[in-house]
Chain A
Amino acid sequence: MADLRTTFAGIRSPNPFWLASAPPTDKAYNVVRAFKEGWGGVVWKTLGEDPPVMNVSGPRYGALHSADRRVIGFNNIELITDRPLQLNLDEIKQVKRDWPDRAIVVSLMVPCEEQSWIAILKRVEETGADGVELNLGCPHGMSERGMGSAVGQVPDYVEMVTRWCKQHTRMPVIVKLTPNVADIRPPAMAAARAGADAISLINTINSIIGVDLDMMAPLPHTRGVGTHGGYCGPAVKPISLNMVAEIARTPETAHVPLSGIGGIEGWRDAAEYIALGCGNVQVCTAAMIYGFKVVKEMISGLSEWMDAKGYATIDDFSGRAIPKVTDWRHLDLGYAVKARIDQSLCIKCGRCHVACEDVSHQAITREVNGVRHYEVIDEECVGCNLCASLCPVENCIEMVPLAVGDVDVRTGRTIIEEPLPWDRHPANPMARVAAE
């Protein structure tokens, strides 16, 4: 039985599944319900200075639905906690006392003034919380007041605020980054320079979830007008995975523990984040959509998978995929795959054919001997994976690598042992210059 216990930035929890700072962690009532279902920890919804902020009383959320009306993307315009600071602190203290084995980290957002951070850190310490997370990422509302992503988008500010916090508290400091930047590495490096104990990412992405075509207004709208919100849910996972990988493989930040956030709905999503270097994960949308019980599947599924793979602890596979993330120029251009359609699984919908025919390389037949039949034409197949991606039947189309010594009938080239990346490729004029 796999051991799911983690120690992340010095904070112990019984499993790697934390609830992210968000509506599910705004009150003791919710947090206690979450702990009863088995969540390993929570990041308490962001505290700010009194008086508390006001939220709109119109719709705060909007959803991107899949065909079967599952929520695949989600956005919100909710601000940080709108409850008095002392009320939150009292509840944090009580919950930590009642649930000592669970991680309680407190998310914070105050103006960019050292005194503000000193003041709130002192009060959080009194609760016995396990650590703080700096909310430098909220992209809506608070950013208009010079906080949230307005700070996270400027590496110097990230460094400055992180330094203040490291200087004024003994608690571990996790810096939560905004993805609303051109390159995630500079703010991550700033946090690392300032001595952050960990980085968590991503916060939500600037987004308009849709347009109300009757009102001619963005969704969600308040009295007929709307503003951009923060986007999250399964649809953002690929964006977050890339940012996690970038930080994990950048030398200046590679040593910093990462907490992965973005679109985690099940154990597999979590395992992917951990494989790319995360020490734990944080979840919000899945809990908001399905309730806290989703963590049970995450725990059992991850445990089953780890047992099957022979991983005893989270550390055993954390970061295992990082060495496999590289730059395009290092990809082997001498390697080739061909699509193979398993005729026994093919349901003959013809979508692989029309996609390849209309938009790709005309490498799949439509009929053979006058009969509806889809077969790959190796002479045309570039191995692009489009057909396999859109095939409605799992495992029906497989991308099969050519073996060393095989001839790619499309190019006439023989597959060789030695990798042939672009920077050494004969077709690259720069490579030739370098060789001479």
Chain B
Amino acid sequence: MEREPRTDVAPGRLSPEAYAAGFSDLHPGFEPNAARVEAERCLFCYDAPCATACPTSIDIPLFIREIAKGQPKAAAKTILDANIMGAMCARVCPTETLCEEVCVRHFSDGAPVKIGQLQRYATDALFDAGAQPFTRAEATGRRIAVVGAGPAGLACAHALARAGHEVTIFEAREKPGGLNEYGIAAYKAAGGIAQREVDFILSLGGIVLKTGVALGRDFYLETLRAEYDAVFLGLGLGAVNALGLDREEGAEDAIDYIAALRQAEDLSALPVGRRVVVVGGGMTAVDVAVQAKRLGADEVTIVYRRGEKEMGASGYEQELALTEGVAIRHYARPVAVESGRAIFERTQIVDGRLAGSGETFDIPCDQLFKAIGQALDPSGVETIDLLGGRIKVDDERRTSIPNVWAGGDCVHDGEDLTVVAVEDGKRAAASIIAALVGPGRFGT
């Protein structure tokens, strides 16, 4: 007689020590000697490919040389000058497809300089020292509104404040930081680094942060345009894509779950399924899968509708998932989520397009996460031109509306990466500064 499968979603699956171990640093930072030895591997390339590959154009050879010569705080200044969120980027950037991918050391000894790790070493040194390397230019009296305290908004606000402008940031959530605070695996941001970084950015001065206020609900774009000299929108993606199933109630949103995990005071109170299925193939899919495993799930399976190469998660992230004991199944898409199981249909490429094969299979499943991407929530920005469902911007990150700039995940251009969001914020700030006071230090 067939028994009805139970769903087993429960908290407290592990010992306190196991929680602590599972959510501490994925890789501990360099000790000084290890940092120096690694730094000395850098060849100080001319016109360095790594710096060209960095979306924020950090002068990587220079900061590594500063580490090699024993001045990590000077190195941090070099990093932060180009990328004010260098500390988090050191932890979350897919360096193996950016700076480290093009490191010439690949060709001379088969392995790149560990640029991300060195960047973390330098920025940690600066934060540990509590040093503030930046100063503000003389006050301009200009006021700028920034909507969203994620990487794009914070980077924009910092650059504007440095130039002497007064910035007010409006943030819908209770805490600033955006996805760094709410949307990235805990073991990548151990030690409260996301908040330490935000604190560092705000400590420059000239930036007022208002939290718990949402665009389109508590304030409106037209009001901002009237009250401020310029507006920057770093809204992120507030809406979650749907699986498109008839019954989707059993599917949880991966981003919400990660946010709950990141904000949890006590990880043992967080319920997790015994058998977890994650639908999706990006970084978020890996983040939620690995964290579910580390919360004590027995079986975690990522199911992605296409192949390994098409996955948004980098090779490094995929390997991390596999090492953690997560199974990855390719070429399958969900057709139903039921109590105790999820039903998938095998997919195939027909004439270059993805198609169902009609063949289905079950995966036992107590908890299913969807990590299939997010979309712009257009509330409050209905008057702005969109492109592909996101805000349309030009090279300088100007929107279709005068005096309104935008950047980060909410715009159509660029990959959804922290480092790209920072560059957006930086570029928009340069454009705003040029628009308000003419080209200066940032506009040249």
Q: Are A372 and B107 in contact (CB under 8 A)?
A: no
Give the contact-size bracket for chain A: 10 to 19
The answer, among B40, B48, B68, for a CB contact under 8 Å with A350, is: B48
Q: Which residues of B contact A67 (CB under 8 A)?
A: 40, 68
B93: interface (CB < 8 Å): no
The answer, among A347, A350, A353, A366, for a CB contact under 8 Å with B108, is: A347
Residue of A nearest to B106 (CB): A347
Query: Which residues of B42-56 have CB atoms within 8 Å of chain A's CB atoms?
Result: 43-49
User: Which of B43, B44, B49 is the most central at the interface, judged by chain A CB atoms within 10 Å of its CB?
Assistant: B43
Closest Cβ–Cβ distance, residue B254 to chain A (whole Å): 40
Residue of B nearest to A355 (CB): B46
Q: Are A351 and B108 in contact (CB under 8 A)?
A: no
Q: Which residues of A contact B104 (CB under 8 A)?
A: 347-349
User: Which of B68, B105, B107 is the most central at the interface, judged by chain A CB atoms within 10 Å of its CB?
Assistant: B107
User: Which of B46, B68, B108 is the most central at the interface, judged by chain A CB atoms within 10 Å of its CB?
Assistant: B46
Q: Which residues of B contact A366 (CB under 8 A)?
A: 46-47
Give the A-B pair count, Cβ closer than 8 A.
37
Q: Which residues of A contact B137 (CB under 8 A)?
A: none
Q: Are B43 and A349 in contact (CB under 8 A)?
A: yes
Q: Are A348 and B49 in contact (CB under 8 A)?
A: yes
Cα–Cα, bound, A350→B44 (Å): 9
A392: interface (CB < 8 Å): yes
Closest Cβ–Cβ distance, residue A343 to chain B (whole Å): 12
Contact with B along A122-158 (1 / 0, CB 8 A): 0000000000000000000000000000000000000
Q: Which residues of B contact A350 (CB under 8 A)?
A: 45-48
Residue of B nearest to A393 (CB): B108
Closest Cβ–Cβ distance, residue B47 to chain A (whole Å): 5
Q: Are B46 and A353 in contact (CB under 8 A)?
A: yes
A160: interface (CB < 8 Å): no
Given contacts A392-B108, A393-B108, contact A351 B49 (CB under 8 A): no
Closest Cβ–Cβ distance, residue A344 to chain B (whole Å): 10
B264: interface (CB < 8 Å): no
Q: Which residues of B contact A348 (CB under 8 A)?
A: 45, 49, 104, 107
B34: interface (CB < 8 Å): no
Q: Are A372 and B108 in contact (CB under 8 A)?
A: no
Q: Are A351 and B45 in contact (CB under 8 A)?
A: yes
Q: Are B108 and A354 in contact (CB under 8 A)?
A: no
Q: Which residues of B contact A351 (CB under 8 A)?
A: 43-46
Given contacts A348-B107, A349-B104, A393-B108, contact A354 B46 (CB under 8 A): yes
Residue of B nearest to A353 (CB): B46
B242: interface (CB < 8 Å): no
Q: Which residues of A contact B45 (CB under 8 A)?
A: 348-351
Cα–Cα, bound, A30→B157 (Å): 68
Q: Which residues of B contact A372 (CB under 8 A)?
A: 47, 49
Query: Which residues of B19-62 have CB atoms within 8 Å of chain A's CB atoms?
Result: 37, 40, 43-49
Cα–Cα, bound, A350→B108 (Å): 13
Cα–Cα, bound, A350→B40 (Å): 17
Cα–Cα, bound, A354→B48 (Å): 11
A68: interface (CB < 8 Å): yes
Cα–Cα, bound, A256→B80 (Å): 64
Q: Which residues of A contact B105 (CB under 8 A)?
A: 347
Closest Cβ–Cβ distance, residue A391 to chain B (whole Å): 10
User: Which of B37, B45, B48 is the most central at the interface, judged by chain A CB atoms within 10 Å of its CB?
Assistant: B45
Cα–Cα, bound, A351→B49 (Å): 12
Q: Are B40 and A68 in contact (CB under 8 A)?
A: yes
Contact with A along B243-267 (1 / 0, CB 8 A): 0000000000000000000000000
Q: Which residues of A contact B37 (CB under 8 A)?
A: 68
Closest Cβ–Cβ distance, residue B76 to chain A (whole Å): 21
Cα–Cα, bound, A353→B43 (Å): 13
Q: Are B40 and A349 in contact (CB under 8 A)?
A: no
Q: Which residues of B contact A354 (CB under 8 A)?
A: 46-47
Q: Which residues of B contact A353 (CB under 8 A)?
A: 46-47
Contact with B along A320-355 (1 / 0, CB 8 A): 000000000000000000000000000111110110
Closest Cβ–Cβ distance, residue B33 to chain A (whole Å): 8
Q: Which residues of A contact B47 (CB under 8 A)?
A: 350, 353-354, 366, 372
Residue of B nearest to A351 (CB): B46
Cα–Cα, bound, A347→B46 (Å): 12
Contact with B along A346-389 (1 / 0, CB 8 A): 01111101100000000000100000100000000000000000
Contact with B along A167-187 (1 / 0, CB 8 A): 000000000000000000000
Closest Cβ–Cβ distance, residue A385 to chain B (whole Å): 19
Q: Are A349 and B46 in contact (CB under 8 A)?
A: yes
Cα–Cα, bound, A372→B48 (Å): 10
Cα–Cα, bound, A354→B47 (Å): 9
Cα–Cα, bound, A372→B45 (Å): 12
Residue of B nearest to A346 (CB): B107
Query: Which residues of B81-134 have CB atoms within 8 Å of chain A's CB atoms?
Result: 104-108
Residue of B nearest to A396 (CB): B108
Cα–Cα, bound, A347→B37 (Å): 21
Closest Cβ–Cβ distance, residue B112 to chain A (whole Å): 11
Closest Cβ–Cβ distance, residue B102 to chain A (whole Å): 9
Cα–Cα, bound, A392→B104 (Å): 11
Closest Cβ–Cβ distance, residue B63 to chain A (whole Å): 17
Cα–Cα, bound, A347→B48 (Å): 12
Q: Which residues of A contact B48 (CB under 8 A)?
A: 350
Residue of B nearest to A350 (CB): B46
Closest Cβ–Cβ distance, residue A210 to chain B (whole Å): 13
Residue of A nearest to B39 (CB): A67
Closest Cβ–Cβ distance, residue B244 to chain A (whole Å): 45
Cα–Cα, bound, A351→B44 (Å): 8
Cα–Cα, bound, A351→B105 (Å): 13
Closest Cβ–Cβ distance, residue A247 to chain B (whole Å): 38
Query: Which residues of A230-272 have CB atoms within 8 Å of chain B's CB atoms?
Result: none
Residue of A nearest to B43 (CB): A349
Q: Are A392 and B68 in contact (CB under 8 A)?
A: no
Cα–Cα, bound, A354→B107 (Å): 20
User: Which of A347, A348, A349, A354 is the most central at the interface, judged by chain B CB atoms within 10 Å of its CB?
Assistant: A349
Closest Cβ–Cβ distance, residue A39 to chain B (whole Å): 32
Q: Which residues of A contact B44 (CB under 8 A)?
A: 351
Closest Cβ–Cβ distance, residue A365 to chain B (whole Å): 12
Closest Cβ–Cβ distance, residue B328 to chain A (whole Å): 34
Closest Cβ–Cβ distance, residue B294 to chain A (whole Å): 37
Query: Which residues of A418-432 have CB atoms within 8 Å of chain B's CB atoms?
Result: none
Closest Cβ–Cβ distance, residue B335 to chain A (whole Å): 48
Q: Which residues of A contact B106 (CB under 8 A)?
A: 347
Cα–Cα, bound, A393→B45 (Å): 13
Q: Are A392 and B40 in contact (CB under 8 A)?
A: no
Query: Which residues of B143-189 have CB atoms within 8 Å of chain A's CB atoms?
Result: none
Cα–Cα, bound, A68→B34 (Å): 10
Q: Which residues of A contact B49 (CB under 8 A)?
A: 348, 372
Closest Cβ–Cβ distance, residue B260 to chain A (whole Å): 47
Residue of B nearest to A66 (CB): B40
Residue of A nearest to B68 (CB): A67
User: Can you list the 5 inter-chain pairs with the closest CB atoms, starting with the nearest?
Assistant: A350-B46, A354-B46, A347-B107, A67-B40, A347-B104
A residues apposed to B, CB below 8 Å: 67-68, 347-351, 353-354, 366, 372, 392-393
Given contacts A348-B49, A372-B47, A372-B49, 15 further A-B contacts (CB under 8 A): A67-B40, A67-B68, A347-B43, A347-B105, A347-B106, A348-B107, A349-B104, A350-B46, A350-B48, A351-B43, A351-B45, A353-B46, A354-B47, A392-B43, A392-B108
A-B contact pairs, 8 of them (CB 8 A): A347-B105, A347-B106, A350-B45, A351-B43, A351-B44, A351-B45, A372-B47, A392-B108
